[in-house]
Structure 1
Amino acid sequence: MDRRTFIGTVGAGTVAGVAGCLTRDGGNGNGGSGDDGTLRIATYDSMVNGESPAGPWLKEAFEAEHDAEIEWKVPDQGLTQYVRSARENAEIDADAYVGVNVDDLVRIDDELGDGGLLRELEVDRLDNADRIRDELEMGDPHGRVLPYDTGYICLVYDETLVDEPETLADLTEPAYEDALLAQNAQNSDPGRAFLLWTIDAYGGGGYLDYWGDLEDNGVRVLDGWTESYSGAYMEGERAMVVSYSTDQVYANEYDYEMSRHQVAFPNGQGYANPEGMGILEGATDVDVAYDFFDFVLSSEPQAEIAQRNVQFPAVGDDHVDLDAEFDEYAHEPPEPVSFGYEALRGSLGGWVDDWAKEIVGQ
């Protein structure tokens, strides 16, 4: 359940007018003379590595149905690597990216100008696009990504040590002193999602005061999800951790003590974090990319992605069948919270920077 870190700022200031400069020789945007039937897909590590990742299954199943080959790539610096290449007008070694969220899109546009890095999708080329749940819409005005799964950030806690917190405000009370583990919002998907959840609750003018109260109550902020969950929490250092609402799926699979894997939705909420897939501007195998995206949104791949990634499908329940145990142990918040593109553009960087200066001293 190791989760990717999100795209970092790759240079000082915003660089405008770079979008669209990535086309390589031989690429014409419709398959072109560079099209050799190999789709190079960049993604994050846990999509392709681990005990039962979704990537290898998708490759084998897609290649069995199509006269094409999938080549997975895991760039060392994730999307940051490609943003840097775009700024330098350098070659990009991938056709598509799987694992883009709305925060990434905002960061891309802050660096490259509006509509950068990824091309606008022709959604009418995808028979299965209308299966995607409406609530997963990221609000990108440039239409660059389509969701393929989603997770919900929540609190996971040990019910033998603390009671379920009913509100976010409860976390500042003595009952939760030195209880909470969180992640650095500069580097971590769940850490940033939890920060945005608190901004939704307390506003851009009040969230730092709330975090000050959390700090006074002993919140411990570690760099990423692996350090906080797989490390400190699983080693029993704290009673509660910011994590995913599918946590009990893991706990059940590995026969962990369920009392230490209780899921809490303070205020009846959890932060929704859909992941999307998009086609890079310089892609040479565009037709294969559309075939792959349509395949990903079909029923069997959606079930496999959900169960292997331990996330929720992007399509509606009537389009996917999940194992009974997944349905039992994967929990959705009564009220999902999220910020769309327009709400984040122009605000995300400042929110994160101010939080980092106040809480982690960076």
Structure 2
Amino acid sequence: MIGKKNLIVVFTLLLTAISTVSFSAEQEEFVIYAYDSFISWGLAEATMHKFEDANNCTVTLIGVGDAGQVLNRVIMEKDNPQADIVVGIDNNYLAKALKYEILEPYTSKNIELIPQDLILDPSFHLTPFEYGFIAFVYDSDALPEPPESLTALTEPAWKEKIILEDPRTSSPGVAFLLWTIAAFGEDGYLDYWEKLKPSILTITKGWDTAYGMFTAGEAPVVLSYATSPAYHVEVEQSTRYLAAPMAEGFYRQIEGMGIVKGAKHRELAEKFIDFMLTEEFQQEIPLTQWVFPVNPNVRLPKSFDYAAKTDRFLSLDPDQIEQNYDTWLKAWTELMTR
């Protein structure tokens, strides 16, 4: 016969077991598809545990290459969605995302925190969370004077001094191709690239390779971001690398997040978008992503004083990009490979 004391012990253990099972059952797995650097550069590590603790869930982050690869993965899984949230689809891919109807609209309760000119999608299938400008970064030790315009880069003085990224394999490469179309028009961008050819040392598959060659001294100019100098100031205490001013204006890239259509955890997805717009999340963006947060209440680090600023920037209508990009890229490929 079980005594009263032993009965109490058994009952207590039973309650503990039940509560443990109940707690485990309540732990939902929340799946996020993101571009690789969202995970590897430290932003996810600095923020995801806060969301997990506040919402009693487990966040599973899956890196899917760059922004274009992230989008294509969600499109391929359209009939059997595996993710709840997708992070990193930018203004260059917005029209494609809407065309394939892979996202569900959601207007965040925190959207009023975000300046109107950063709202990339008025239907809120995509909500902005960070932005930056594509720019040319130069080595001030190697160059007495930086290039001052896209046109200037075609001059003989810049022969084999520029490293670019391939638009077929690189997000900055895509942005630069679109930058030249925005600056010189559909009728003039190929002429510009023809004139630019002698100035190009090489075109790499991705940003990492290009920037590594640049900092190794293989060329004094590289296609990068207007905020790249802030990294060198913050991490290396160096002002050697600076962003060149461009008379035509920089090309702006706004990155967004959206709820995957058919997401298993819609409520958590809404809470996640709300969380990503808060100062708690946004304050981690500058020193991990090295771009600008969309929440203007975030105080930027002092190193961002060295990020190039411009009142003039270029962009293209997302629908125009979706309708014409394959044609533009094919024409560019034919020109650059002959």
Question: Aligning the two structures, in what range does the TM-score lie when normalised by the shorter sequence?
Answer: 0.7 to 0.9
Following superposition, the deviation at residue 115 of structure 1 comes to 4.9
C-alpha distance in 1, partners of 2:258/2:194?
Answer: 38
TM-score under structure 1 normalisation?
Answer: 0.80
Following superposition, the deviation at residue 160 of structure 1 comes to 3.2
Q: Which runs of 4+ in 1 moved over 6 A?
A: none
2:102 is aligned, of 73, 97, 117, to 117
Conserved? CA contact 1:108–1:117, under 8 Å:
yes
Where does residue 234 of structure 2 map in the other structure?
Answer: 253
C-alpha distance in 1, partners of 2:128/2:56?
Answer: 25
Conserved? CA contact 1:37–1:288, under 8 Å:
no
Where does residue 26 of structure 1 map in the other structure?
Answer: none
C-alpha distance in 1, partners of 2:26/2:156?
Answer: 62
Where does residue 200 of structure 1 map in the other structure?
Answer: 182
TM-score under structure 2 normalisation?
Answer: 0.85
2:50 is aligned, of 53, 56, 61, to 61
Following superposition, the deviation at residue 73 of structure 1 comes to 1.3
Question: Residue 238 in 1 paired to residue 213 in 2?
Answer: no
Higher alpha-carbon Rg: 2
Where does residue 100 of structure 1 map in the other structure?
Answer: 89
Three-state SS of the structure 1 residue aligned to 2:135 is strand
Report the more deviating stretch, 172-181 or 264-273.
264-273
1:79 is aligned, of 47, 58, 71, to 71
Three-state SS of the structure 2 residue aligned to 1:345 is helix
Listed as ranges, the matches of 1:1-80 within 5 Å are 37-50=28-41, 53-75=42-64, 77-80=69-72
C-alpha distance in 2, partners of 1:251/1:333?
Answer: 20
C-alpha distance in 2, partners of 1:277/1:135?
Answer: 17
Following superposition, the deviation at residue 357 of structure 1 comes to 1.9
1:191 is aligned, of 170, 173, 178, to 173
1:229 is aligned, of 211, 216, 220, to 211
C-alpha distance in 2, partners of 1:49/1:157?
Answer: 26
C-alpha distance in 2, partners of 1:96/1:360?
Answer: 38
Following superposition, the deviation at residue 122 of structure 1 comes to 2.6
1:289 aligned partner, one-letter code: A
Where does residue 273 of structure 2 map in the other structure?
Answer: 293
Q: Aligned in 2, Cα 1:167/1:67: closer, same or farther, shift over 3 Å?
A: same
Following superposition, the deviation at residue 61 of structure 1 comes to 1.4
Three-state SS of the structure 2 residue aligned to 1:273 is strand
* Identity over aligned pairs, percent: 29
2:302 aligned partner, one-letter code: A
- The structure whose residues are more often helix, as a share, is 2
Conserved? CA contact 1:138–1:341, under 8 Å:
no
Where does residue 209 of structure 1 map in the other structure?
Answer: 191
C-alpha distance in 1, partners of 2:320/2:117?
Answer: 16
Conserved? CA contact 2:167–2:173, under 8 Å:
yes
Following superposition, the deviation at residue 63 of structure 1 comes to 2.1
Where does residue 11 of structure 2 map in the other structure?
Answer: none
Following superposition, the deviation at residue 268 of structure 1 comes to 5.6
Deviations 1:202-248 (A, max 9, x none): 10011001000001334521111111112x11211111001011111
C-alpha distance in 2, partners of 1:205/1:36?
Answer: 56
C-alpha distance in 2, partners of 1:258/1:118?
Answer: 42
Following superposition, the deviation at residue 256 of structure 1 comes to 6.2
Deviations 1:299-320 (A, max 9, x none): 121111232111101122xx21
Deviations 1:119-173 (A, max 9, x none): 2x231xx221111222223246x53101100111101011233321111110010
Question: Residue 132 in 1 paired to residue 124 in 2?
Answer: no
1:43 aligned partner, one-letter code: A
Conserved? CA contact 2:84–2:264, under 8 Å:
yes
Q: Aligned in 2, Cα 1:212/1:94: closer, same or farther, shift over 3 Å?
A: same
Following superposition, the deviation at residue 67 of structure 1 comes to 2.9
Gaps of 5+ in 2: 1-24
Q: Aligned in 2, Cα 1:234/1:189: closer, same or farther, shift over 3 Å?
A: same
Q: Which protein, 1 or 2, shows the higher relative CO under an 8 Å CA cutoff with sep ≥ 6? A: 1
Report the more deviating stretch, 34-43 or 343-352.
34-43
C-alpha distance in 2, partners of 1:36/1:300?
Answer: 23
Where does residue 133 of structure 2 map in the other structure?
Answer: 152
In the alignment of these two chains, the number of paired residues is 310
Following superposition, the deviation at residue 75 of structure 1 comes to 3.1
Q: Aligned in 2, Cα 1:268/1:209: closer, same or farther, shift over 3 Å?
A: closer
Q: CA RMSD in A?
A: 2.1
Following superposition, the deviation at residue 56 of structure 1 comes to 1.8
Three-state SS of the structure 2 residue aligned to 1:304 is coil
